[in-house]
Structures are given as C-alpha cells and as structure tokens.
Structure 1
C-alpha cells in the first residue's frame, strides 16, 4: 500500500477516532495536519486550549495528545496501516508533538486492532463502583498494557492507597482556596446538560456524576460549589481500587508516552469490563506530587492516578468536528 491509496476519508476516520481520547477537562488540545504527498499525519499541541493554572507545565496537555496519538495508532492498524511514529521530531517546532508515517502495511494479527471498537465505549465514570475486587490476572493485563508503551502501572497496597487518598483530599482543599484554578475549571465544566447549542468541548452536567457522601473515593468534584440541576448525592466505594501510572523520567517525551499508555490501559480495562475515572489533582501541586509515588516501586514520576472497578459506564462527552482539528495539505 502506498501514500497514494490513502484517501482523505480514511485520514478523517483516523482523526475522528483520535479525537475520542480523554483530555484534562475535555479541552481537546490537539490539531492534526495530513500531508498527502508523503502520507504523513502530524499531531500538534493547541496552546489556545492549555490550562495554565491547572496544568502550568502542560504535562496534562501532552498526556491528552499522547492519548489521541494512541487512538490514531489503533485506528490505523485496524484499517491495515502500520503507523510509524516519531515523537517530537523537530526541535525547532515545540508544538509539533508527533509525526506518523501511514504508508506501511500493518500485520493482520496486530493486537492493537482489537482495541478499535472500544474507542467509542471508553468514557470516564464518575459514579460509585461496586465493592468488588479486581482479579489478579486482569491487573496483570493492565500492567502489561502500560509496559508495552514504555511505562509502569502499579497497584499500591492498602497503606499507600490511603496515603494517596489523603493527598487527593489535600489537593482538593488547595484547589478550593485558589480562585484562579476554580475559575479555569468553571470555563470547561458546564452545569447544564448537553444539547444542540452546547459547546463541543468541556464536560456537560450529565457526565459529572452524583456528589459524594463523605470523601472515600478519589472522584474530582468539578462543580466548584456551583449548583447542577437534578444532581443528587450517593455513597461511593469505601475501599477504592487505584493504580499509579508513571515513568522513569519526567520530560515532555515521557508525558507523550504516558498519555499513550494511559489510553492503552483504559481501552484494555474497557475490554475487561472495568470502568475508570482519573484524578490528577495531587499531581498538579509540585509539593504533593513527589509523595504520590509508591516508595517500594521503581517508578520515579507518577503521571496519573486511576480509579478502576466494576460499575455503571460513564456518559459520553462532546467532541469537536474533525473539520475543526484536521488540515489536509
């Protein structure tokens, strides 16, 4: 197969899958450009969608773009294309995050293809999960998924889980006392349900889940004290299952790898019948982030805290039209 046989409808489909990826506050901080002659697709950071108060070093933005890159890889492989990826290919262009050569043919038994149907099923679930253990073999599968992307996934023991939960609540208090962070969150989190005239980004009211009785589970309350019509309250699991996703180094290329690993783990979890929510709150405060890591593991830098379990699937969040994020030249 050659670049000449890769038509624009195929590229559009790849990007449509890519943009179903998770991102901080569903800001969708990505742009794509397809070069017909070379058969390459470039991924750029959209700095206009950065969150400077919540994500001052753009680590979360890089992770969101990494997750979109992983979806792109999955979509390409499922369509018979072998995506040859170069991360940060041009030092002179800091917003160019990846270049993907789509001219090669993929192996028909590439396991990534199995994940493509799960891209549209993957949603954040901010609802209570069941008090049910996750089997060890499923945990091992998720750890392997992270390993295949050059990262580590660790399920901390009960003591360290409690420590992480305390750090989450500490971060919540710090956020509550920061009008800049609250204001930035309010820009992206909507208190009204989605509809025809709703924004094509951010988090709609129906995706917020109920308020939490007590503070047992690391589910971020994004309302900032604002009223959401029809939103109730519920008890959450007393012993949440959390996992720490991390890397050995902490540079922009590591954030891109962590984003790809996060999406691979999440799609695998979806395949295994698990639901997931994320919290990055304690990672957004430098004085707290170092304490999140598991001191018994070789993980040096935690990039995301995942909450996993069995429970109701999350609600879809809006997506920008592909025409807004893809240029074809």
Structure 2
C-alpha cells in the first residue's frame, strides 16, 4: 500500500501499528501526538502506567516504547514515507522519548513482510515443539538485532540452562516479594475495564516439568494449583544485549527486540519473553557470560520456537492519538482504505 497523503485514516493506521507493539505487562506506557507542521509523530512516556517495583528505573518502559517506535517506522515506510527517527530529541523534555518524522517518499519498501507481521505477532506462553530453529534463521535474527544497534546471542544448551536457572530464581523472588507481586496482580485485573493488562486467556501455562520458568502474573505463592503442561526439553533461548546501558540504549534495544520478533513471526516462529531475571540487578549481571569478548548489558531473554499462536491482549483505543489542542487530524483528502486492521491487538512482555 502506498499513499502520498497523510489523512486521518492513514494516521490511524500508523498509530494502530505502533500500539500493536509488546509492552511490559501490557501497560502500554506510551502517548502519541502529532506536530502537523513538520509531519512528526512524538512518542512520550506514560509514566503513570509504569511498574514502580518491577521496573523502578524505567528500563522496561523504554524497551516497550522502543518496540512501538520500530512498528511505527515499519508502518511509515509501508505507506510510502522515509521514517526519520530521533531518540531523546529534547533533553529539557525527559518524557519525550522519540520522534518519527515522515520524510521524503520512498518508491519501494523493505518492510512489507514486517508490516504484515505487526498484526500477527503475539506472545505465546504455551509449550513449543522440540523442533530446533534453522541455523539460517538464527543468523537472520542476529543480523536484525545488529541493524538496530544491539546483539542477539542464541545460546547453546548449557548457557540456556544457566539463564533458565537465573529466571527461575527471579520468578521465585517476584512471587514472594509483596510489592512486586502486587504490581503484577494489578495488571491481570486491569484488563477488565481499561483495555490494559493481561486477560486470563493470554496468561499461558506453567511447566509441569518445572524447567521452563514461565511468569505467574497472578504471583501465586503456591503455584502447583495452576494449570500446567510439559514444555519443550531443549528450548531455544536468546539473550538481547547492548554495549551500553543508557536510556537511548534501552530504546534501541526495544527497536531491536521488535525487529527480531517481527522477523520470527514472518517465519512462523513464536516467542515469549522471559523478563524476570532482568528485574533484579544481581541476576541481570549474570545473564551476560564473562567470557564474552565485548562488554554488554542484557536487555531481554527471548524464548523462540514452533507452537500455538498466543491469544491477543487488548489495546486502549484512546491511546491511538493524544494530539495537542487544535491539531487537525485530517490534513489532506482521504486516502484509499489501507490493508491491515485498525485496532492492532497483541500480547505483552
């Protein structure tokens, strides 16, 4: 689909794609506004939807916004513009995390398959098959992360076992820490009325073999009463990292994460995100092996594989645009109807 006009319908498609991104506990911690004189979409942090105890530094919030930025870039190019992206463009406005300006028109898009994947990407917290990822796909995913300034390490079995052990320890801490458990439970209940949080059908299962530490969003202390099934014995685990650990790096990591997830989706590969160990500083430090040649900071643990598609989580319709007073939403005559759903629905971190 190509259109040279930015009208209300096209703008809605662009922002629907952006909010289809994953976010920590499906908090959707973003706000969008349009600067019509420059055709620039501004993405700000919705800090009131942050996780005070689980994400006190806002690192996961920045990753979530980075995922939305990547989706917006993909959609902008799909509709025929060159996305010109700036991270943290105004130091005096710390809540302004990124801007994406609709630059000159492009004749071709390299993002067609990624745009299609935007609407099909869901986190899957269900058992995967034992089928391994092809080597060529692992290389492609690593290259995707590198393109966004991050590194993706697909771990050998022994390293994967170590990361899963750290994740199990973090999951235990999260369910026994009263403040963090409350943070998590809130976002299971939140979806009932607000279009935020995680619906019951998207919570997934526990591993009856007790090897795969899937997050218990309800933070049950005695989780043996939860629904459980055997998970894969040899999961494909990857760690996404960056060379530095600043706010801009978190935003880059979010863009890299979403590019990896979209390419995986395009290849029929499911993913779930194991974020628990990243929420404890001592465990996070251990996610990166000391034998790595270059210093790096772990940003996400990703489980990849072949299995059922996860159900969608809701999106807040009012999150599609937060425009300054008086901003005209229809800038030019209406463009033809675009492909892709208007209300993107995906799962969360």
State the TM-score bracket (shorter-chain normalisation).
Answer: over 0.9
How many Å separate the matches in 2 of 1:150 and 1:216? Answer: 32
Asked if 1:90 corresponds to 2:90, the answer is yes
How many Å separate the matches in 2 of 1:136 and 1:115? Answer: 20
Matches within 5 A, 1:258-273: 258-273=253-268
How many Å separate the matches in 2 of 1:136 and 1:272? Answer: 13
Q: Secondary structure at the match of 1:202?
A: coil
Asked if 1:289 corresponds to 2:288, the answer is no
Asked if 1:117 corresponds to 2:116, the answer is yes
Q: Secondary structure at the match of 2:255?
A: helix
How many Å separate the matches in 1 of 2:244 and 2:319? Answer: 35
How far did residue 199 of structure 1 move?
A: 2.9
How many Å separate the matches in 2 of 1:209 and 1:126? Answer: 5
Preserved CA contact (<8 Å) 1:186 1:223: yes
How many Å separate the matches in 1 of 2:194 and 2:222? Answer: 19
Asked if 1:11 corresponds to 2:8, the answer is no
Preserved CA contact (<8 Å) 2:181 2:219: yes
How many Å separate the matches in 2 of 1:322 and 1:220? Answer: 28
How many Å separate the matches in 2 of 1:239 and 1:64? Answer: 28
Preserved CA contact (<8 Å) 1:19 1:28: yes
Unaligned runs of 5+ in 1: none
Preserved CA contact (<8 Å) 2:205 2:214: no
How many Å separate the matches in 2 of 1:290 and 1:166? Answer: 14
How many Å separate the matches in 2 of 1:46 and 1:134? Answer: 36
Asked if 1:144 corresponds to 2:143, the answer is yes
- Cα RMSD between the aligned structures? 2.0
How far did residue 130 of structure 1 move?
A: 0.4
Asked if 1:300 corresponds to 2:299, the answer is no
How far did residue 12 of structure 1 move?
A: 1.7
Unaligned runs of 5+ in 2: 328-349
Matches within 5 A, 1:184-195: 184-190=183-189
In the comparison of the two structures, how many residue pairs are matched?
320
2:235 aligns to what? 240
How far did residue 10 of structure 1 move?
A: 1.5
Q: Which moved more, 1:140-149 or 1:7-16?
A: 7-16
Once the two structures are superposed, residues 267-286 of structure 1 have per-residue CA deviations (whole angstroms, 9 ceiling, x without a partner) of 00001110000011111101
1:60 aligns to what? 60
Asked if 1:321 corresponds to 2:317, the answer is yes
How far did residue 132 of structure 1 move?
A: 1.4
1:103 aligns to what? 103
How many Å separate the matches in 2 of 1:70 and 1:313? Answer: 22
How far did residue 296 of structure 1 move?
A: 3.5
How many Å separate the matches in 1 of 2:221 and 2:17? Answer: 33
How far did residue 118 of structure 1 move?
A: 0.8
Q: TM-score, normalised by structure 1?
A: 0.92
Q: Secondary structure at the match of 1:128?
A: coil
How many Å separate the matches in 1 of 2:296 and 2:237? Answer: 18
1:164 aligns to what? 163
How far did residue 190 of structure 1 move?
A: 3.6
